[in-house]
């Protein structure tokens, strides 16, 4: 069975939802405290949402120097699937594992709503085998979700098929409607929407499972 | 020797600054019409133990570039002086 690590920073608050979503998707999932320095034995790593280290300085800025991040980088470098959700996405950009940065929403309001997403890439560890153009209803819940990067980086993202998800209706001023990106290899993915909150009909959508199942399957080939 | 350092961080020129824009819109309510191009940012004040101004400046620059500012979206200035 696929073994998932869900990293917990002081201030993470979506780790239990992530564990539950990954389990529904067919993995076993374990919480890993941010001081852990060894991730061997895991098949995939998730950095969950929340406010790591209080989001002080900038979201993700202090989390990226947590001891666990060397192990996350090494895991990613070996080609292991790493997914950052919301605050986890911010951590991955601050750590330099993903290009760009997340800036405050352009309207300065906190976004907490369902968002319609369009799958833009079918080769990342989160979307492998999911047809491009697939529409998914998945909630967003963030204040700093506006994706920014320079023109050159945006061109590179487009040329190398690194935009993973786009918003159907842009909720925050994100460049190119970007909701999620991956590294060039496709194994490291960051996204602002919360797939782990869309894993049950009781909660309004099971579209998150489309992504989490792809992730659990991707880890088999990693 | 102890030096005092100030690092100012703000969004880079090409990047929209919703906080600065919101502050600017609020100014008209105060009857201030002469102020334009407001950019929001933050300052960090700290002390550096070093043997020279150059060394203290280089330590502060390093801290600013590696942690206090995110070069993807922010610019920074460093000012260091003897205490």
From A14, A34, A86, A149, active-site residue: A86
In the prediction, which pLDDT does B34 show? 95
- Tens-place pLDDT, residues A193-216: 999 999 999 989 999 999 999 999
pTM of the model as a whole = 0.95
Cα B26 from chain centre? 22
pLDDT band at residue A50 under the 50/70/90 scheme: very high
pLDDT band at residue A21 under the 50/70/90 scheme: very high
- Tens-place pLDDT, residues A68-87: 999 999 999 999 999 999 99
Residues of A in contact with B11 (CB under 8 A): 103
**Please, what is the end-to-end C-alpha distance for chain A in angstroms?**
14
Q: Phi and psi of A198, rounded to 5°?
A: -130, 60
**8 A C-beta contact, residue B20 and residue B38:** yes
- Interface size A-B, in CB pairs within 8 Å, comes to 33
Parent domain of A31: 3-221
Where residue B27 sits, what CATH number does that domain have?
A: 3.30.1280.10
- Tens-place pLDDT, residues A89-110: 999 999 999 999 999 999 999 9
The percentage of residues in chain B with a pLDDT greater than 70, rounded to a whole number, is 100
Closest residue in A to B9 (Cα) is A57
Parent domain of B7: 2-82
In the prediction, which pLDDT does A219 show? 82
Report CB contact under 8 Å: B72, A105.
Answer: no
What tokens were used for A42? 């895991």
**8 A C-beta contact, residue B18 and residue B53:** no
Q: What is the rounded distance in angstroms from the CA atom of residue A206 to the CA atom of residue A191?
A: 17
Q: How many domains does chain A have?
A: 1
Where residue A36 sits, what CATH number does that domain have?
A: 3.40.50.880
């Amino acid at each position: 069975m696929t073994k998932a690590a869900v990293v917990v920073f002081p201030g993470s608050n979506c780790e239990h939802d992530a564990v539950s979503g990954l389990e529904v998707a067919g993995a076993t999932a374990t919480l890993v405290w941010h001081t852990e320095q060894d991730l061997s034995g895991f098949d995939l790593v998730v950095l969950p949402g929340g406010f790591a280290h209080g989001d002080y300085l900038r979201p993700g800025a202090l989390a990226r120097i947590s001891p666990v991040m060397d192990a996350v980088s090494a895991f990613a470098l070996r080609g292991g699937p790493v997914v950052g959700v919301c605050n986890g996405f911010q951590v991955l950009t601050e750590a330099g594992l993903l290009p760009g940065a997340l800036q405050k929403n352009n309207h300065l309001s906190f976004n907490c709503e369902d968002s319609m997403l369009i799958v833009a890439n079918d080769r990342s560890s989160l979307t492998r085998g999911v047809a491009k153009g697939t529409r998914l209803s998945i909630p967003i819940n963030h204040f700093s979700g506006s994706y920014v990067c320079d023109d050159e980086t945006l061109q590179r993202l487009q040329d190398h098929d690194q935009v993973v998800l786009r918003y159907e209706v842009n909720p925050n001023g994100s460049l190119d409607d970007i909701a999620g990106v991956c590294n060039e290899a496709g194994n490291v993915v960051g996204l602002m929407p919360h797939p782990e909150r869309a894993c049950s009909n009781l909660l309004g959508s099971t579209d998150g499972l489309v992504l989490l199942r792809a992730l659990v399957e991707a880890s088999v080939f990693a | 020797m102890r030096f005092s350092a100030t690092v100012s961080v703000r969004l880079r020129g090409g990047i929209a600054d919703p906080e600065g824009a919101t502050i600017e819109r609020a100014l008209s309510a105060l009857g201030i019409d002469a102020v334009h191009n407001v950019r929001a940012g933050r300052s960090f004040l700290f002390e550096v133990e070093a043997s020279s101004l150059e060394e203290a400046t280089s330590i502060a620059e390093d801290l600013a570039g590696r942690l206090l500012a995110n070069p993807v979206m922010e610019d920074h200035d460093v000012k260091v002086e003897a205490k």
